[in-house]
Amino acid sequence: MLTIDSNDIACAARRMMICYGAHAVDIARERAMETGHAADIRQRDMAFLVLSEVEKLARKGPHTQ
């Protein structure tokens, strides 16, 4: 069984914040919604965990990233 590594989640969220800036939350949310009905449960879980992490980073602001 494959497990989701918290480092993978944090890394993906940081990359999204760097690449998309202020739009990262919207893009992460869109990706999570797209995978919301996916047959691949791991992919769906990963998308929602990344969304959660991106939202946390966005709330903290750019000075803490």
Tens of pLDDT, residues 8-53: 999 999 999 999 998 999 999 999 998 877 678 888 899 999 999 9
Q: Is the pLDDT of residue 1 over 70?
A: no
Query: What distance lies between CA 41 and its chain's CA centroid?
Result: 15
- H or E segment at 45? helix 41-60
Beta strand segments in 1-65, E: none
Answer whether 17's CB lies under 8 Å from 24's CB. yes
Query: Which of the two residues, 37 and 56, has the higher pLDDT score?
Result: 56
Confidence of residue 59 (pLDDT cuts 50, 70, 90): very high
